[in-house]
């Protein structure tokens, strides 16, 4: 009785929240915050092409806000009335796969002639026991976006290693102008964005929180990475009180010379401040990890309980056609998921994207490798211990030892 009432109430509440109604035959329901994002027109074109080729199918889209989207999606799935297509950022999909909530998509990939092995390696988070459960919409690896004019003004070239990078931070710091060489997360924010943002440094230094399911939070590489973070924070070489959104605004306004960010941030500069955008260039991160960085992949998936699963899966496959992948690059300035261009082509036609494509091949998810189902708890632990040494007085080594101990406790509790 309670279960039934819960399902009914949950479904009604979510339907009301997302502006939904019961799913009709042949109807694909696709609510996503991405409908309000930079790829909305691309998605619309793909949907229009798909419905034109499949006359009995209709696609109902909804564009809820990003804030609270994942909570609503979770309620919708657990109330037993999911939409046809779910949206995830890569660290989140693991829990849904573990709970058996997603439809395996291998047969659709096979039918579409698309090999996921050619995707950026972060796709691994959507693969479990040889079966794939997600379709990438976009991939956003981090590279160094720098302002050439600001570097020229202090007589420096773009840093290619840690020593040059540190020297550039010192040279570019100008308190009178409120100017900084680089911006990193410098304020307490929620757990997931904290884990994402510090992954730029962690992975950039070749470190990781987890390797093959084992915690390695207090490894020498991690100590080096986090000590560097603490050093530039304490020396006032990065602005305090800055979250990831503000970092971008600071480079667009010429207050910061370098940030580690994604292609969308680079492209957006042109619309925000064309004067600054013409000085912006990219290269892979100059940290000891040889260009390795972190990436966020937006993944789409089909829930097991969804109606019209077959149509939904085929629609998702149409995102990956060669024509649509080329459109993604040429018309919407986003990285392709599939390698649809030769390397020389990229260099010649999209020079600014070369660094992002290199980073894409080297980048990893912020999801804890081999412990993806514990990602939320791990991110909360990362936040707590990271903040204890950056904003508090706990020595870096002690904080990382505490983090490692908490990871081990989390793993033990899972067993």
Partner 1 sequence: MSGLRSQSATTTVAAPLLGWTMRRRLVPYLFFAPTLLALLAMYAYPIGQAFFVSLHRDSLGTRIGDFIGLENFVAVLTQPLFPELLFNTVVYTVGVVVCVWVLGVVTALLLFRTFPGRFLARGLVILPWAVPVVPVVASWQWLLNFDYGLFNAITHGLGFDRLDMLAASPGAMITVILVTSWKLFPLASVMFLAALQTIPDELYEAAEIDGANDWQQFLNVTLPGLRSVSMFVILLMTVTIFGRAFTIILLLTGGGPAGTTEVLALQTYHEAFQYFRMGSASALGMVVLAISLCITTLYLTLLFRRKDEA
Helices marked H in 219-308: 220-234, 244-252, 263-272, 274-277
> Of residues 6, 118, 160, 347, which one binds partner 1 by CB under 8 A?
6
Q: Which of 239, 263, 291, 336 binds partner 1 (CB under 8 A)?
A: 239
- Rounded to the nearest angstrom, the gap between the alpha carbon of residue 87 and the centroid of all alpha carbons in its chain is 12
CA atoms within 13 A on the CB side of 323: 4
At 109, list the tokens.
């990939």
Nearer to partner 1, 295 or 379 (CB): 379
Distance CA 71, CA 344 (A): 43
99 belongs to the binding site for partner 1 (CB under 8 A) = yes
Report the residue from 96, 119, 196, 287 that binds partner 1 according to the rule CB under 8 A: 96
Determine if 64 is a binding residue for partner 1 (CB under 8 A).
no
Residue 388 within binding range of partner 1, rule CB under 8 A: yes
User: Which residue from 154, 380, 401, 405 is in contact with partner 1, where contact means CB under 8 A?
Assistant: 380
Q: Does 395 bind partner 1 (CB under 8 A)?
A: no
Contact flag: residue 383 with partner 1 (CB under 8 A): yes
Q: Which stretch binds partner 1 (CB under 8 A): 41-49, 137-145, 183-191, 363-371?
A: 183-191
Q: Which residue has the tokens 């992975």?
A: 203
Q: What is the contact mask toward partner 1 in residues 120 to 159, using x (rule: CB under 8 A)?
A: ----------------------------------------
Q: How many CB atoms neighbour CB 171 within 10 A?
A: 15
Per rule CB under 8 A, is residue 230 in the interface with partner 1? no
How far is 186 from 235, CA to CA, in rounded Å?
Answer: 13
56 lies in the site for partner 1, by CB under 8 A: no
Structural contact between residues 185 and 242, judged by C-beta atoms closer than 8 angstroms: yes
Pairing between strand 127-128 and 131-132? antiparallel
* 67 touches partner 1 by CB under 8 A: yes
| Residues 166/232, Cβ–Cβ less than 8 Å | yes
Listed residue (95, 77, 94) closest to 18, CA to CA: 77
Footprint on this chain of partner 1 (rule: CB under 8 A)? 2-3, 5-7, 9, 67, 70-71, 74, 78-80, 95-96, 98-101, 178, 186-194, 239-242, 305, 376-377, 379-380, 383-385, 387-388, 390-392, 394
């Amino acid at each position: 009785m309670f279960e039934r009432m819960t399902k009914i109430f949950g479904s009604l509440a979510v339907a009301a929240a997302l502006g939904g109604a019961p799913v009709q035959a042949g109807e694909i329901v696709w609510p996503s915050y991405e409908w309000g994002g930079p790829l909305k027109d691309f998605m619309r074109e793909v949907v229009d092409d798909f419905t034109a080729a499949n006359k009995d199918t209709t696609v109902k889209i909804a564009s809820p806000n990003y804030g609270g989207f994942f909570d609503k999606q979770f309620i919708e799935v657990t109330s037993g009335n999911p939409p046809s297509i779910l949206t995830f950022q890569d660290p989140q999909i693991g829990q849904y796969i573990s709970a058996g909530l997603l439809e395996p998509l291998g047969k659709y990939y096979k039918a579409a002639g698309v090999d996921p092995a050619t995707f950026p390696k972060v796709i691994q988070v959507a693969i479990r026991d040889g079966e794939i459960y997600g379709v990438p919409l976009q991939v956003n690896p981090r590279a160094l976006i720098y302002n050439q004019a600001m570097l020229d003004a202090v007589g420096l070239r773009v840093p290619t290693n840690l020593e040059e990078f540190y020297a550039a931070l010192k040279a570019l710091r100008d308190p009178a102008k409120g100017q900084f060489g680089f911006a990193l997360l410098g304020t307490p924010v929620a757990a997931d964005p904290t884990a994402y943002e510090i992954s730029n440094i962690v992975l950039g230094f070749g470190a990781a929180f987890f390797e093959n399911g084992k915690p390695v939070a207090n490894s020498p590489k991690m100590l080096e990475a986090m000590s560097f973070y603490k050093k530039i924070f304490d020396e006032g070489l990065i602005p305090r009180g800055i979250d990831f959104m503000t970092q971008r605004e600071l480079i667009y306004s010429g207050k910061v010379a370098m940030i580690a960010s994604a292609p969308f941030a680079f492209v957006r500069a042109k619309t925000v401040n064309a004067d600054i955008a013409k000085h912006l260039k990219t290269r892979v991160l100059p940290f000891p990890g040889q260009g390795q960085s972190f990436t966020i992949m937006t993944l789409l998936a089909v829930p097991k309980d969804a109606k019209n699963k077959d149509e939904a899966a085929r629609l998702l496959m149409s995102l990956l056609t060669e024509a649509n992948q080329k459109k993604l690059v040429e018309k919407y300035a986003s990285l392709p998921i599939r390698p649809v261009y030769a390397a020389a082509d990229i260099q010649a036609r999209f020079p600014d994207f070369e660094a992002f494509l290199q980073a894409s091949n080297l980048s990893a998810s912020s999801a804890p490798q081999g412990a993806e189902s514990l990602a939320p708890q791990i991110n909360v632990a990362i936040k707590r211990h990271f903040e204890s040494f950056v904003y508090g007085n706990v020595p870096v080594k002690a904080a990382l030892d505490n983090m490692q101990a908490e990871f081990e406790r989390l793993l033990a509790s899972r067993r």
